Chain A
Amino acid sequence: MKRVNGQGSPLSESLLRLLSPTGNVGDGVFRLLMFAAGLLVVVIVLGMIIGLATHSELSLRQFGFGFLRSSTWDPVNGQFGALAFIYGTVASSLIALLISVPLSLGIAIFLVEQAPPIIARPITFLVELLAAIPSVVYGVWGIFVLAPFLRERVEPSLARSFGSLPFFQGPITGIGLLTGGIILAIMITPIISAVARDVLAAVPNTQREAALALGATKWETTRVVLINGAPGIAGAIILGLGRALGETMAVTMVIGNRAEISFSLFQPSYTLASVIANEFTEATGDIYLSALIELGLILFLVTFVVNAIARLLVWRVTRTTVGAGMAA
């Protein structure tokens, strides 16, 4: 094999070898280009953190940690706090999880444990189509179909039956936390069920056979499988949570966009993502814009951490289960 630069110093020699183990110039160029693409991804992520942080400096300086504790959002007087948006984001995401988790697990169990492949494949495709529908389309459907339906059919009867609870009080408009949560639930169901399906499918068949051999019923066998895949399922749920926290258009269109903290699910609320979507282009004044960008920074950091945890959980589980499967 020919050496490109045999007479170079030891350092440039080792650098060249790292670039092109074969000593071929084309390889060096090719590997450098591909490495640059990989490096670009790192640069993008770092750039996001740095870019968002520097542009929210004004607000970071002025409000400090009080930004997270204050629920005042008063652009006129230049007072900004994120608490109301954090509450709206967390509350709508929790409602979404409450609805979506049982539903998604049911779908995943049905597809992996019960449905024969000939039915499972088209159903998988259909459920995944739910993930292909854009957020803004969910929003259109939410405004014109779901919200009126909830206002006329669901919310009055909820108020009648559970009106004594603080969650179901106040005027019924069809626009608010409940509607936002339901829309989010529909949107994250295909994500949670897809990951949960992969996790369940990775549980080794020996587990099922062992349970069945001991006389377990179908459901008892499924429970064994669920326990085996528990960390991965937790990962799937956290992944869904990450998606729900950052979902923008659909939520903005149905949640009512009012920066208030109320326990009632009928009341309008506001999320981090929707306040950015709504007010960004109207933000007058540097501090207002800076506060909005800080909301973006918070959203970025939170979803980054949530996604990282979810990935690690799913990674570790699929890796260890594959190992167990091979050992078995």
Chain B
Amino acid sequence: MKLSRSDRIRRATSTVMTSLTALCTVAAIGVLAIILFYIARSGVRSLNLHFLIETPKPVGEGGGIGNAIVGSALLLALSCIIGIPVGISTGVYLSEVGRGWFASVVRFLVDTLTGIPSIVTGVFIYAVIVLRMKHFSAYAGGIALALIMIPIVARTTEEMIKLVPHSLREGALALGAPQWRVTLGVVLPAAAAGIATGVMLAIARVSGETAPLLFTAFGSRFFPDGLDRPIASLTVQIYNYAISPYDEWHAQAWAATLVLMTLILGINVTVRFFTRKKF
């Protein structure tokens, strides 16, 4: 069959455009590969055991990120203690308890909260907590991170609970169980794996946050000596070293970046591996 000229043009356009979309995808993955390559190559250079356990030292004397790792772990723990229960409860409210306009308002606000820049959260916590306590503290940093965590956990919890079949609830209710026992004993355990996934991803997201910590947890050059004090974190340390004028600190920023990325990619890949069969 001989194609007319316009048909050949149509087919050529189609081929060109579909290849372009493939090219876009290759470009995005290429960028990812380049970024990861540079982090791995530049990060490995100054990575060693001393770097992981020592505190920062003046330029030229080495030093490490031990205090920042401990600080980040404490901040994450604080944010989890506050963020996970509140987030899961909000998710349960949205899916099991809330009805009518108020539930819609809460759902809408949860959605928009996920889009609020994290630096604004930092300013807010500074205004309501740091100004009142009159000094930076790990508490303020942890609460700032928790505020970022709550909407993420709430949304995944709601989505995961929605996937639990109604017959499970009906079965438990028919046996005479009150709603709270149905939710806590039947619905939540059935959705537990999915919720855990969401929580892990929220932790990964929060562990990379820098902006809300700049003027809440602030930073420190020593190991943490109380949650009431300013505290170091991996991300703020990376930022301070990267914008410094010293090559040695630049190298340390890369190494700390590698540590942070190992944690975050580790969580993401693990979650992916465990959810592969389910979705």
Contacts and interface: CB of A to CB of B under 8 A. Distances in A.
Contacts of A115: 25
A37 B180 contact: no
Interface in B88-120: 89-90, 92-94, 96-98, 102-103, 105-106, 108-113, 115-120
Interface stretch (A5-13, A41-49, A72-80): A41-49
Contacts of A145: 34, 38
B163 interface: no
A45 B98 CA distance: 18
A130 B22 contact: no
Contact of B93 (A35, A130, A243): A35
A135 interface: yes
A37 B109 CA distance: 13
A277 B211 contact: yes
Question: Does more than half of chain B's interface fall in helix, strand or loop, or is it mixed?
Answer: helix
Given A130-B28, A217-B10, A141 B39 contact: yes
B248 interface: no
Contacts of A177: none
Contacts of A304: 112, 115-116
B181 interface: yes
Interface residues of B, number: 89
A189 B28 contact: yes
B69 interface: no
B25 A247 contact: no
A139 interface: yes
Given A52-B123, A132-B268, A246-B119, A106 B23 contact: yes
A51 B38 contact: no
Contacts of A242: 115
A137 B89 contact: no
B265 interface: yes
A136 interface: yes
A133 B242 contact: no
Interface stretch (B49-57, B58-66, B249-257): B249-257
A52 B123 CA distance: 8
Nearest to B37: A145
Interface string A193-216: 100000000000000000000000
A26 B265 contact: no
B123 A293 contact: yes
A144 B119 contact: no
Residue among B21, B38, B126, B260 with most chain A CB within 10 A: B21
Given A247-B117, A299-B119, A137 B208 contact: yes
Contacts of B110: 41
B110 to A, nearest CB: 6
B38 A114 contact: no
Contacts of B79: none
Contacts, number: 266
Interface in A102-122: 102-107, 109-111, 113-115
B127 A51 contact: yes
Interface in A165-194: 186, 189-190, 193
A307 B111 contact: yes
B38 A31 contact: no
Given A42-B109, A132-B264, A102 B24 contact: yes
Interface residues of A, number: 91
A281 B214 contact: yes
Contacts of A48: 116, 120-121, 124
Contacts of B167: none
A321 interface: no
B239 interface: yes
Contacts of B250: 144
Contacts of A27: 178-180
Contacts of A137: 35, 39, 208, 238, 257, 260-261
Contact of B106 (A41, A104, A123, A292): A41
B78 interface: no
B139 interface: no
Interface of B: 10-11, 13-14, 17-18, 20-25, 27-29, 31-32, 34-35, 38-39, 42, 86, 89-90, 92-94, 96-98, 102-103, 105-106, 108-113, 115-121, 123-124, 126-128, 131, 147, 150-151, 154, 178-181, 183-184, 204-205, 207-211, 214-215, 218, 235, 238-239, 242-243, 250, 253-254, 257, 260-261, 264-265, 268, 272
18 contacts: A24-B178, A37-B93, A39-B106, A41-B113, A51-B128, A106-B25, A111-B25, A132-B204, A136-B239, A137-B261, A140-B238, A144-B254, A217-B13, A217-B14, A248-B211, A249-B239, A273-B119, A296-B119
